[in-house]
Amino acid sequence: QSALTQPRSVSGSPGQSVAISCTGTSSDVGRYDYVSWYQQHPGKAPKLMIYDVSKRPSGVPDRFSGSKSGNTASLTISGLQAEDEADYYCCSYAGSRTLIFGGGTKLTVL
C-alpha cells in the first residue's frame, strides 16, 4: 500500500495552466475509474475538486479538469488564480473497500 506518486511541487503564473500527475499501479489507478482530487489550504480540511477521474462536484469551477491514461491520472487547472495556491492530493480506490492517497503536490501561483 505505497502512496500514489505525485510531484512535490508545481508552479505557474496567473492565467496559465498547470497539470499535476498522479501515478499508481495496475491495482489501483490503472484498474478503477475511481480517482478523486482534493484541494487543501493550510490549516483547513480537504475539499473535493474532482471525482470518478473527471467529474466535478457542483460549485467547483470548470477550470479544474481531470483525466486518466493507464496507471496515471492528471489534474489540470487552467486560468490559474491566486486562490488556487494550495496542496493537491489524488486518491484512488484500491479494491476491497480500501483507498490510497497520493503524497500531495504544492501548487504555487507565481
Partner 1 sequence: EVQLVESGGGLVQPGGSLRLSCAASGFTFSNYWMSWVRQAPGKGLEWVANVKQDGSERYYVDSVKGRFTISRDNAKNSLYLLMNSLRVEDTAVYYCARPRETFGVDPFDYWGQGTLVTVSS
Shortest Cβ 69–partner 1 spacing (Å) = 20
Quick check: 97 binds partner 1 (CB under 8 A)? Answer: yes
Strand partners, 9: 106
* Rg of the chain on CA atoms, in Å: 13
Least distance (Å) between residue 101 CB and partner 1: 4
**Residue 25: burial class (beta carbons within 10 Å; 0-12, 13-18, 19+):** middle
Q: Which residues bind partner 1 (CB under 8 A)?
A: 1, 3, 34, 36, 38, 40, 45-46, 48, 51-52, 57, 89, 91, 93, 96-104
